């Protein structure tokens, strides 16, 4: 294969990969925007899976760009030396500059990866409420100001705003449209309410009688308990939702 043909193949591959990145970016921000929390699918593929495709396309595009640069490295070095009014580069100069460039890029990427990894921290319990900013918060009334001990009534939770984000974040990957481990799907009403052949996971109006909470708090033995256990705040929201009659559950398809 001659050099011209190889350059054409590399350029064509870069163009296709770049187009794929644009398409998947459109899907992630328009067709399946962040607020859908991956409960929507496009052609049977979840938002999380489309994100994986976008990442792989990006990595492949970077690899092709690196190959393109390698194929034209001698020309790039010559242009830079000409701009700096230096003499033409010899074969050794080109090789040394290539090694130096790889070394510098490796150091920069290593420092970048270290900075990113060291910056990742678990979210403090005090800030877990920020995960569901649309969750209603108890509002202090005048009775609190006057020292009254009469508790404020708990607000009614919304399935769409308060419960759906929890299910989307923790449950849908293993119990959703693509995978329904144990035959349970969070997007189907029948899975929650059960039947003669399947477990009844929820009793609207009575969280203590709802087995789902025993699973999510680690009180009921189940496979991979560390995966099923949810943060205390999410469990409390689910408990409050169930005690309130599990409003919105009827909106799920049977």
Q: List % helix, strand, coil for the chain (3-state, nearest 5).
A: 60, 0, 35
Q: What is the pTM of this model?
A: 0.47
Q: To 5 degrees, how large is the angle CA 182–CA 183–CA 184?
A: 90
pLDDT recorded at residue 26: 92
pLDDT over 80 (residue 29): yes
Q: How confident is the model at residue 165 (pLDDT cuts 50, 70, 90)?
A: confident
User: What is the mean predicted confidence (pLDDT) over 179-205?
Assistant: 77
- CA distances (Å), 91 to each of 1, 94, 96, 137, in order? 23, 5, 9, 69
- Tell me if 185 sits within 8 A of 177, measured CB to CB: yes
Overall average pLDDT of the 151-179 stretch: 75
pLDDT in tens, 41-52: 888 888 888 889
Domain boundaries, the chain: 3-71, 128-251
CB 201 within 8 A of CB 211: yes
- Find how far residue 166's CA is from the centre of its chain: 13
Compute the distance between CA of residue 211 and CA of residue 166 in angstroms, rounded to an integer: 17
Average pLDDT taken over every residue of the chain: 78
pLDDT in tens, 202-237: 888 888 888 888 888 877 777 776 778 888 888 888
pLDDT tens digits for range 111-157: 988 888 888 776 555 544 444 444 444 444 544 444 445 445 456 67
């Amino acid at each position: 294969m001659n050099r011209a043909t190889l350059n054409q193949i590399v350029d064509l591959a870069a163009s296709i990969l770049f187009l794929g990145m644009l398409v998947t970016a459109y899907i992630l921000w328009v067709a399946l925007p962040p607020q859908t929390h991956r409960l929507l699918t496009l052609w049977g593929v979840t938002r999380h899976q489309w994100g994986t495709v976008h990442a792989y396309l990006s990595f492949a595009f970077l690899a092709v760009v690196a190959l393109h640069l390698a194929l034209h490295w001698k020309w790039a070095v010559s242009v830079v030396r000409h701009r700096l009014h230096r003499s033409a580069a010899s074969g050794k100069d080109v090789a040394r500059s290539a090694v130096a460039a790889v070394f510098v890029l490796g150091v920069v990427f290593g420092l970048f990866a270290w900075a990113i990894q060291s910056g990742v921290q678990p979210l403090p319990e005090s800030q877990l409420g920020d995960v569901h900013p649309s969750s209603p918060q108890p509002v202090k009334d005048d009775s609190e100001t006057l020292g009254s001990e009469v508790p404020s009534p708990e607000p009614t939770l919304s399935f769409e705003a308060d419960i759906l984000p929890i299910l989307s974040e923790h449950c849908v990957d293993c119990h959703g449209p693509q995978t329904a481990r144990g035959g349970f799907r969070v997007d189907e009403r029948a899975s929650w309410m059960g039947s003669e052949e399947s477990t009844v996971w929820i009793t609207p109006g009575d969280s203590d009688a709802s087995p789902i909470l025993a699973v999510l708090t680690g009180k009921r033995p189940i496979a991979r308990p560390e995966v099923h256990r949810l943060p205390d705040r999410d469990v409390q929201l689910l408990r409050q939702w169930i005690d309130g009659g599990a409003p919105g559950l009827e909106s799920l398809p049977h």
